[in-house]
Structure 1
Amino acid sequence: MEIDNASQPCTFGDQNSSDVTVLLYTWEGRPVFFYCHSKILIRKSKFFAEQLSMKAVTNSSNEFSNFIQVLCQGSEFDSYAKLLKLLYTSDDSVLESLDSVKTTLGVLRASIALHCGSITKCCMQYLEAVPWDEKEEDEILKIAPSLGPAAKPILARIQPINLTATKNVFVSAIRFATAVEKSFPPFADELKTSAQEQVEYMLLEDEDTPMVAIDEEVKSEVRTGLSNLIATFEAELSLIPLGYKHSPEVAEQSVLQSLSDLDWMCGVLTKMEMLKDFVTSWSEISDKVLAVLQEDNCYLGLWSVKVKVIELVGKAFDAIGFGNVVLPTHSRLHFLKKWLPYLRDIKPLLDAKSDKDESFTHRLDGDLCQNIEGAIVSLVLTLPSCDQADILGDWIQRTEQLKFPNLSEAFEVWCYRTKSANRRNMVELSDAGNPTLSL
């Protein structure tokens, strides 16, 4: 099986010097013959070495003894054909010829099947050094078990790391996402958005173990971030009265960005079961927010800001009303009395403008209104009956504003509870005035 002239160079596909013919089938089932050289195949592939060794023993004649069919799927034809050609190149040339992860994975599969150690090593070296997309990573994970310990360098980049290192990355992302500095480079907005997205992703629930260990250090960092965002929002809000006169759009966009950041923080705090921090902070600045939104200069403007504010207020109402955030009675009552009048005023105003002007896009979402209404009804029913009576009495008197929020359900429950309470009271009084006689 050795070529007569050992020093004669072997060229892939040279039929004149070839002593081995390899057969592959294309996707269409068409046979393709590759003219190869036994000394190359034996040196580079254990599969071909074994095949040629068996043929040398079992064939008494050389005729057709060096014809080898390689069984592979038609979809793998290009990979096997490329592998045969790579057998004729040096390791450095193999690395240079690998130009994509997809191609390399195909060659790697073929190389593993044909036991081509040097080619397999080059493919692994290439994959270890280049980036992969998600689909390619899945394919690598499928191939890795067949490589054994040799796959360790490839898999190093996707091995889980300790929770301390993950926490450090999470904390850094929180700091950047909630930073208040204005002297960031041009790409800072994109990086900030990315940081916010990855913080949310890292907080997604995992079936096995959490990606981030939520300890007091992490919570403290998140609270600091919330404080930064609240402070930024207050600062932007305080500039509204003056800035709105000169450049309404600029003033509005600055506040909208702060509100968007707070909206994102609400999602983070919800996942970390820390939404109470937001509710408390928002309650503390409610007076300032309402004062600006209700100023004469801003009363018929800042519609985007007002809608976004109502969205955040809705999240606070939802948390308080349904018991996700537990607050004392006076705090719940304070929050309700602060925001209920404003909601009564702004909803009809937005609806009227939307009905009058089709281009006005700041109408409150129906689901949002329904959620706020349900949360307010639930919140009202958590209050002492006398406070409920004050709120419901005021609501009934405002006949022109009964549409939103509709407190009919709370009113019905209050009536039933009041009647039941009176009945119980009458029974208790009756029992007290007619003690049981004993003989």
Structure 2
Amino acid sequence: MIAQGMKKRNRGGSSGRLSSSSSIGDLTGHAGENAIATVSAPAPGEFNDVATADVVLGLQLELDGPPSPFSRDVEGPASSPHADPVPSLELYLHSVVLRRCRYFAALLSDRWRHAEQEETTPHGKIYRFNLKVSLPSANRHRPFEAHTSVLRLLYTRDFVSSIVTVSGALEILHVALEILFDDCVRACVRFLEAVPWSEDEERMILSVIPYLPQPESADLVSRILPSTDERTSSEEMLHGLVLSAIQAHPSMPSVKAFVARLLKEFPSRDSVGRVLDRGFLANLETVKSLLAEYASPDFRTAGDNDETEAIQRLNLHAALVSTRKLLWLIERMIDMKVADNAVREWSEQTALAVDLQKAFKDEAWRNIAPGLPAYVMRCTSRLANAVAAGSILSDRQVRMRLVKNWLPVLNVCRDVVSPMHSGQKLLQQELEETFLRIISTLPLSDSQDLLQQCLWFSTRNADCPHLISAFNTWFRRANRHQGEENGS
């Protein structure tokens, strides 16, 4: 009798609401005359068993307002007779099963249960609740599917078979969080933590993270968000990539190119600057230490022996390798416009410049590290060109020290190194012209001393237009009367 009565209520009470704005097939994804037709005939006491159910849950589609995965509202069974009918679905459930989630356990408790939500029958009480369901754009034609799946899981607890895709897990997770179904939430979190995501899915997971319980979601959160004690985790990763690039064999340029692209596309230029500065300073210290040891009087007065020669060979070769790394780092820093610190550090290397001059005046480097002078000049040239071009704005003292310390190294290199091409110009000539351009930015007193050290440039060619132009510029400025404004 109670089963027949409930079936009559279902056919008479639900169909009118369901047909209000959409067909049942549109709402549930299945054909049928009523909502119950979407589920196969249940066994007694199972999900949606009309005969034994003591709870009637109405899922009511919320058409107004923005969709929210966590919107819910509990109402009494009656609605205004004048209100427009709203698409809905009735499910026949069991209170003993619904109490497996905290939301319905509270709803069915004496504290929250209301008389108007109860209906007394000869076989016991029937509880009626309504649950508003927002309309997700992804399931516009199946708005109740996720809720039905989660409510079914209260009965089956077969999470492994039901949670099989990221999108499905997210839909189920939204409902499980809404009704406080803790076991289902844990199952969804465990699945999401273990499988790959697309970028869109990752954004959806990010939006859910604030609602996830701890510590069950710790592994999932650590996969997508840095922990508070990993302040520089991204920079540590970048630092490791930079180390891999500069230590890669010269025959593997693809590694350097790949890391260079990652650096260029990284969203934080400040982080890239700190990482490159770190690598630059470490390699610069290595070069300084090696050249200082090579130029040390202790080695020069130690006499000729195999051990001393072996150590010297190792020092020069290691200096060459580290200088090659410096060049790659400098090029990346200039490309990323974060070379300000590098220019300042390079301009202050008075001792290194002196040690290099000593090393290049020896003959040993020709057989041990023949490329060392060229790499030193290229490092200096890259930084000096950036300063002269204005892409690195350095103050007067930095510009002056850059030329003052490295001009003597250039003069020594001119005597010991064969000209090398850099683009369309010889590297030495390009560096000469760059130094002259920087000198032109200095006060007359500073540029006077430095220009006199550039006289060696003229030994390459009697017709030296870049040097002549630099001196003519200096004389024009020096001979200008105080207060003269028209330049005549």
Q: TM-score range by the shorter chain?
A: 0.5 to 0.7
Q: Residue 220 of structure 2: which of 134, 146, 154 is its match?
A: 154
- Residue identity matched to 2:94: S
1:8 aligns with 2:8: no
The residue matched to 2:89 in structure 1 has which SS? strand
- Note the alpha carbon deviations across 1:76-117, whole angstroms, 9 max, x for none: 756863243133237873244334444433432332222222
Aligned partner of 2:262 in structure 1 is 197
1:179 aligns with 2:247: yes
Change in CA separation of 1:267 and 1:203 when aligned onto 2, cut-off 3 Å: farther
1:327 aligns with 2:395: no
Aligned partner of 1:378 in structure 2 is 438
- Residue identity matched to 1:145: P
Say if 1:203 and 1:268, in contact at 8 Å, map to a contact too: no
- Note the alpha carbon deviations across 1:192-233, whole angstroms, 9 max, x for none: 834883699598426xxx987987x994357559999x9799
The residue matched to 1:149 in structure 2 has which SS? coil
Aligned partner of 2:367 in structure 1 is none
- Cα distance between partner residues in 2 of 1:56 and 1:174: 66
Aligned partner of 1:125 in structure 2 is 190
Identity of paired residues, percent? 13
- Cα distance between partner residues in 1 of 2:178 and 2:467: 71
- Residue identity matched to 1:121: R
Say if 2:193 and 2:219, in contact at 8 Å, map to a contact too: yes
Aligned partner of 2:87 in structure 1 is 31
The residue matched to 2:152 in structure 1 has which SS? coil
Tell me the CA shift for residue 161 of structure 1. 3.7
Say if 1:174 and 1:225, in contact at 8 Å, map to a contact too: no
1:114 aligns with 2:212: no
- Cα distance between partner residues in 2 of 1:113 and 1:270: 49
The residue matched to 1:68 in structure 2 has which SS? strand
- Residue identity matched to 2:476: C
Tell me the CA shift for residue 159 of structure 1. 0.9
User: What is the Cα-based RMSD across aligned positions, in Å?
Assistant: 6.5
Say if 2:403 and 2:435, in contact at 8 Å, map to a contact too: no
- Note the alpha carbon deviations across 1:363-415, whole angstroms, 9 max, x for none: xxxxxx9xx989853333435326547979x99xx9x997xx79979855652
- 1:26-425 aligned within 5 A: 31-39=87-95, 42-51=98-107, 57-59=115-117, 61=119, 66=128, 68-75=130-137, 81-89=145-153, 93-132=158-197, 136-150=201-215, 151-157=217-223, 158-162=226-230, 172-181=240-249, 189-190=254-255, 193-194=258-259, 197=262, 204-205=269-270, 219-220=281-282, 224=286, 263-264=331-332, 270=338, 273-275=341-343, 313-319=381-387, 322-323=394-395, 327=401, 330-334=404-408, 376-382=436-442, 383-385=446-448, 387-388=450-451, 412=473, 414-419=475-480
- Cα distance between partner residues in 2 of 1:109 and 1:406: 74
Higher Cα radius of gyration: 2
Q: How many residues align?
A: 355
Aligned partner of 1:305 in structure 2 is none
Tell me the CA shift for residue 37 of structure 1. 1.4
- Residue identity matched to 1:39: S
- Note the alpha carbon deviations across 1:146-178, whole angstroms, 9 max, x for none: 335344343234214457988875664443221
- Note the alpha carbon deviations across 1:31-52, whole angstroms, 9 max, x for none: 2425341337623444344556
- Cα distance between partner residues in 2 of 1:69 and 1:81: 14
Q: Which has the higher contact order (CA 8 A, sep 6+)?
A: 2
- Residue identity matched to 1:58: E
Change in CA separation of 1:335 and 1:379 when aligned onto 2, cut-off 3 Å: farther
Unmatched 5+ stretches in structure 1: 236-254, 289-308, 352-368, 424-439
Tell me the CA shift for residue 68 of structure 1. 1.6
Change in CA separation of 1:86 and 1:45 when aligned onto 2, cut-off 3 Å: same
Tell me the CA shift for residue 122 of structure 1. 1.7
Say if 1:22 and 1:36, in contact at 8 Å, map to a contact too: no
Unmatched 5+ stretches in structure 2: 7-41, 68-84, 291-313, 361-376, 415-419
> Structure 1 or 2: larger helix share?
1
